[in-house]
Amino acid sequence: MMDGLYESLNCYRGRQSLPAEQNRIECHLVFQLPEIVSLIMQFLPNHQTSRRKCLPNNKQRLQWIYPCLFVNRLWHDCAARIMYQMAIFEDGTLADFASFAAVCGTNANADHPRPLALQHPVQRLLSDQRRNVYRRSLRTLAVRRLKDKGHVATLEKMGAHMVHLEKLEVYICDPVSNATIEPFVRPSLTELTLAGCARVDDDLLLQVAATCPNLQHLDVRACSSVSDVSISAIAHACSNLRHLNVGRVRDHDLITSRSISLVARLTRVSVVGFAGCAITDDCMLLLARLRCHDIERVSINHCPRLTNRTLRAFMYYCNKLTVFEMKECHSMDDWEAVAKLVERQVLLTLCQQQNRACAEWAKRHGRKLNVKAPIK
């Protein structure tokens, strides 16, 4: 089978070779196969690191692969596909957003898959065919602190072309509304971060619940119009959900034990953020018991209805717990339970009043507690 593939490749190259290329030293045929070259590039140093961490800007994140663009046309094509897998725009790089959108978001021709071209004229690198290739490669798009309404309109137009997008982060973008995000809502979406997008509401999340069964990560912090209605729908539709953050500083009563109980029963959450929500001990006890083998991080800052029952439940049931944030939860004052969490090296967030009370308890009981907060 491989012999036949090599023979076909030789015939193809014989027909397509340019005169200037006919006299150069030939490399092994393996390194002229796009699939092989792409696979090799994925194992270059720092590739896995760059996929896990959002570095300050795209230039730093992609400096390891940038030289590959200049080896030859095939390497340029393969490297560009990898470079376009992730795009991050924030304060220092928002000026580049329009250029990126011109390549990935403005094309009247229909999107359709294209094979990698082994030979092609340089002047066609930004043709419609290549734009389709690049934008179909995009898997992660992050836009942070977008203030310009023109940029927001451009973002909305891009959504129709992001057919394979898996992770979308739109962070603290005040002008962004449901209409901006709706074009991005596709079955391929697994992570959605809309923290600080205050105009987003239940209607969008109901669409996400109906469209994205594989959703694993949902962050709608400071989206104060989001309520039990949409979070309940997410719980019913997205059983693979692992990360949920619905923390808020106002409209506390819109998120209650009603939706969080469903999240505890129907999903596999391991990281939860309920800061400022009107939740009670009942749903938190349910979460601790049902998700005891999954829960790793819990944020319940500014939840005044929670008591020592919640604190003890997570201390007793959740052996994987690494972070427990309970700032301004003044009904939680079981410092013995806190001491046990500290002994297990769980990171805790307390307010000044809680820290003083904990230190006084430790002094009275001859204990030495080194309470450490998580790094933000």
Please name each of the domains of the chain with its CATH number.
86-104+136-365 (3.80.10.10)
pLDDT of 242 over the 90 cut: yes
State the number of CA atoms in the 13 A half-sphere of 82 facing the CB.
29
The amino acid that residue 23 corresponds to is: N
pLDDT digits (tens, 9 = 90+) for 261-302: 999 999 999 999 999 999 999 999 999 999 999 999 999 999
Distance CA 296, CA 249 (A): 23
Strands ordered across the beta sheet of 191-193: 86-89, 140-144, 167-171, 191-193, 217-219, 243-245, 271-273, 297-299, 323-325, 347-349
Distance CA 78, CA 71 (A): 11
Using DSSP, state whether 54 is helix, strand or coil.
coil
The DSSP code for 273 is: E
Least confidently predicted of 86-100, 202-216, 236-250, 317-331: 86-100
The amino acid that residue 166 corresponds to is: E
| Residue 337 pLDDT grade (very low, low, confident, very high; cuts 50, 70, 90) | very high
- Percent of the chain clearing pLDDT 70 (strictly above): 82
Residue 57: per-residue pLDDT: 54
Closest CA to 298 of 317, 309, 312, 284: 284
pLDDT digits (tens, 9 = 90+) for 35-64: 888 888 888 765 444 444 444 456 666 778
User: What are the respective helix, strand and coil percentages of the chain, to the nearest 5?
Assistant: 45, 10, 45
Give the mean model confidence (pLDDT) for residues 368-373.
Answer: 93
Closest CA to 356 of 346, 340, 371, 337: 371
Distance CA 92, CA 73 (A): 31
What separation in angstroms does the CA of 338 have from each of 297, 329, 354? 15, 13, 11
Burial of 19 (0-12, 13-18, 19+ CB in 10 A): exposed
pLDDT of 169 over the 90 cut: yes
pLDDT of 8 over the 60 cut: no
Closest CA to 180 of 162, 204, 163: 204
What separation in angstroms does the CA of 14 have from each of 19, 113, 115, 117, 142? 11, 25, 19, 14, 43
pLDDT of 121 over the 80 cut: no
| Residue 107 pLDDT grade (very low, low, confident, very high; cuts 50, 70, 90) | low
Between 128 and 123, the more confident residue is 128
Bridge partners of 53, per DSSP, are none
